[in-house]
């Protein structure tokens, strides 16, 4: 793995990136909300020390909230189909925290399970992910429970860290990342030695909520599909779906046809298991007709069903659902109800 020091300041590095033919997406304030947005000039960029994390994740750039998948027209009883264009401009998504970069290995698995989603993968293949280590945390973060750390580079092509001299350096994690650095050689300098681990990241790791034993959590879930706790844990839920929409790993969608007199479009729209219509059958029967059943589904999917199928959790501990929940439902506290903390030295 090659390492490169950013020669001047971070903004200069971004200037170099913008001079290449990429669409650059990075954390930016829009109407007071920090979200991943298009960056037009280096002055708009926030350095990794200027934010904890964004309100929404980057998933909308790979799996948009709504997108057409096919168009059609009618002539009498005949239907004519027309493919839709998938944006092909190469992108760089810059400044993702480890909890967001790691979400791609989860989404990659699901979007090629049984069927390969060309919409998602075309965007994935055209995008370079530049992650950034966390220089601070808040009380909602719990990435260490899911096996990550403030300086995990999993899922990134390039990863930005600070060395002990408070300078930023880049780790090339994949060949795709290394090819991008080669185009930015005026802004970086290759390091001969691996930089020493910055004690800052260890300090942050210790500040993060203690690790929950997810193996024990899964054992409890394996045996407690029916349990009165589900009623108690979900009683405050408003079924608003904010948790799923902001989550970097939630990926449920619905397919709808929007039809005019002689033409239409088939759309893929985000959906969420907390909505009561999500499982409503056309017969009128709804197998998840209570909040308890729907909340159980959310927790089971994250920490049991996904683990059964892919041997990993459908959660990276980013804490977004905790920050956003209007009634303070905290998924970390929920899981802690049925699993112990991991003993730490
Ligand atoms: S479930 Fe919550 S903490 Fe876990 S990845 Fe989704 S938003 Fe983040
Ligand atoms: S954000 Fe909170 S209230 Fe809204 S659906 Fe999720 S758990 Fe329920």
Q: Is it the case that residue 117 has pLDDT exceeding 80? A: yes
Tokens encoding 7: 């020669």
What pLDDT is stored for residue 6 in this prediction? 94
User: What strand order describes the sheet that includes 91-96?
Assistant: 33-38, 23-30, 91-96, 127-132, 158-162, 168-172, 3-6, 188-190
Percent of the chain with pLDDT over 70: 100
The answer as to whether 61 is a domain residue is yes
> What does the alpha-carbon distance between residue 134 and residue 51 come to, in Å, rounded to a whole number?
9
pTM (predicted TM-score): 0.95
Nearest ligand atom owner, CA of 53? 1
> What does the alpha-carbon distance between residue 146 and residue 14 come to, in Å, rounded to a whole number?
31
Tokens encoding 192: 């001969």
Evaluate whether 201 touches 149 at the Cβ level (below 8 Å): yes
Nearest Cα neighbor of 248 from 202, 330, 313, 174 is 313
The answer as to whether 324 is a domain residue is yes
The answer as to whether 342 is a domain residue is no
Mean of the pLDDT values across residues 214-231?
98
What pLDDT is stored for residue 165 in this prediction? 85
Task: Give the mutation target among 323, 325, 326 for probing the ligand 2 site: most ligand atoms within 8 A of CB.
Answer: 325
The answer as to whether 49 is a domain residue is yes
Residue appearing with tokens 């909890």: 99
Angle at CA of residue 271, ends 29 and 269, nearest 5°: 80
Nearest Cα neighbor of 132 from 101, 96, 171 is 96
What pLDDT is stored for residue 345 in this prediction? 61
Mean of the pLDDT values across residues 303-325?
97
Q: Whose CA is nearest to atom 1 of ligand 2?
A: 325
pLDDT class for 234, splitting at 50, 70, 90? very high
Ligand 1 atom, smallest distance to 250 CA: 6
Binding site membership of 250 for ligand 2 (Cβ less than 6 Å): no
Residue 36, judged by CB atoms within 10 A of its CB (0-12, 13-18, 19+), counts as buried
Tell me, in angstroms, the distance from the centre of ligand 1 to residue 304's CA: 15
Binding site membership of 147 for ligand 2 (Cβ less than 6 Å): no
Evaluate whether 264 touches 257 at the Cβ level (below 8 Å): yes
What pLDDT is stored for residue 223 in this prediction? 98
Report in angstroms the alpha-carbon separations of 73 from 77, 78, 269: 10, 8, 21
Average pLDDT of every residue of the chain: 96
Evaluate whether 313 touches 109 at the Cβ level (below 8 Å): no
Residue appearing with tokens 């009561």: 276
Mean of the pLDDT values across residues 231-252?
97
pLDDT class for 38, splitting at 50, 70, 90? very high
Task: Give the mutation target among 100, 211, 319 for probing the ligand 1 site: most ligand atoms within 8 A of CB.
Answer: 319
Binding site membership of 234 for ligand 2 (Cβ less than 6 Å): no
Nearest Cα neighbor of 149 from 218, 93, 102 is 102
pLDDT tens digit string along 120-169?
Answer: 999 999 999 999 999 999 999 999 999 999 999 999 999 999 988 889 99
Binding site membership of 327 for ligand 2 (Cβ less than 6 Å): yes
By residue range, what is the domain housing residue 234? Answer: 3-337
Nearest ligand atom owner, CA of 55? 1
Ligand 1 atom, smallest distance to 142 CA: 3
Compute φ and ψ for 285, nearest 5 degrees.
-75, 140
Mean of the pLDDT values across residues 9-25?
93
What pLDDT is stored for residue 87 in this prediction? 80
Tell me, in angstroms, the distance from the centre of ligand 2 to residue 294's CA: 10
Percent of the chain with pLDDT over 90: 93
Binding site membership of 247 for ligand 2 (Cβ less than 6 Å): no
Q: Whose CA is nearest to atom 2 of ligand 1?
A: 321
Q: Is it the case that residue 1 has pLDDT exceeding 90? A: no
Residue appearing with tokens 């490169």: 4
DSSP, res 340: P
Nearest ligand atom owner, CA of 326? 2
The answer as to whether 345 is a domain residue is no
Ligand 1 atom, smallest distance to 316 CA: 5
* Tally of domains in the chain: 1
Binding site membership of 43 for ligand 2 (Cβ less than 6 Å): no
The answer as to whether 344 is a domain residue is no
What is the C-alpha end-to-end distance of the chain, expressed in Å? 30
Q: Is it the case that residue 88 has pLDDT exceeding 80? A: no
Tell me, in angstroms, the distance from the centre of ligand 2 to residue 241's CA: 6
- Tell me which residues have their CB closer than 6 angstroms to ligand 1: 246-249, 302, 315-321, 331
Report for 8-12, 84-88, 296-300: range of highest mean pLDDT = 296-300
The answer as to whether 323 is a domain residue is yes
pLDDT class for 221, splitting at 50, 70, 90? very high
Nearest ligand atom owner, CA of 295? 2
Contacts of 133 (CB under 8 A, 6+ apart): 48, 98, 150, 151, 159, 160, 161, 162, 201
Ligand 2 atom, smallest distance to 274 CA: 5
Tell me, in angstroms, the distance from the centre of ligand 1 to residue 242's CA: 11
Q: Is it the case that residue 67 has pLDDT exceeding 70? A: yes
Tokens encoding 44: 């708009």
The answer as to whether 33 is a domain residue is yes
């Amino acid at each position: 793995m090659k390492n490169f020091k950013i020669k001047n300041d971070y903004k200069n590095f971004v200037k170099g990136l913008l001079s290449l033919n990429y669409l650059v997406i990075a954390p930016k304030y829009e109407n007071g909300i920090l979200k991943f947005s298009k960056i037009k000039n280096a002055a708009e960029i926030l350095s990794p020390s200027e934010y904890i994390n964004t309100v929404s994740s980057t998933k909308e750039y790979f799996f948009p909230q709504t997108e057409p998948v096919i168009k059609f027209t009618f002539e009498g009883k005949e239907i004519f189909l027309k493919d839709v264009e998938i944006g092909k401009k190469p992108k760089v998504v810059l400044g993702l925290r480890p909890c967001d970069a790691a979400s791609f290995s989860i989404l990659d698995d699901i979007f090629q399970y049984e069927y390969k989603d060309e919409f998602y993968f075309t965007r994935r293949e055209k995008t370079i992910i530049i992650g950034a280590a966390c220089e601070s945390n808040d009380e909602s973060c719990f990435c260490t429970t899911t096996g990550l750390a403030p300086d995990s580079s999993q899922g990134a092509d390039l990863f930005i860290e600070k060395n002990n001299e408070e300078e930023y350096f880049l780790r090339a994690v994949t060949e795709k990342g290394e090819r991008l650095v080669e185009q930015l050689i005026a802004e970086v300098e290759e390091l001969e030695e691996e930089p020493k681990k910055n004690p800052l990241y260890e300090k942050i790791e210790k500040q993060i909520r203690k690790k929950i034993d997810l193996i024990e959590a899964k054992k409890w879930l394996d045996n407690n599909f029916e349990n009165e706790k589900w009623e108690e844990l979900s009683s405050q839920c408003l079924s608003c779906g904010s948790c799923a929409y902001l989550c970097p790993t939630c990926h449920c969608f619905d397919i709808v046809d929007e039809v005019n007199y002689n033409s239409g479009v088939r759309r893929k729209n985000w959906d969420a298991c907390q909505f009561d219509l999500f499982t409503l059958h056309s017969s009128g029967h709804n197998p998840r007709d209570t909040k308890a059943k729907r909340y159980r589904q959310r927790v089971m999917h994250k920490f049991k069903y996904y683990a059964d199928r892919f041997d990993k959790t459908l959660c990276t501990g980013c804490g977004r659902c905790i920050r956003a929940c209007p009634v303070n439902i905290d998924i970390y506290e929920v899981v802690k109800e049925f699993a112990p903390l991991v003993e730490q030295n």
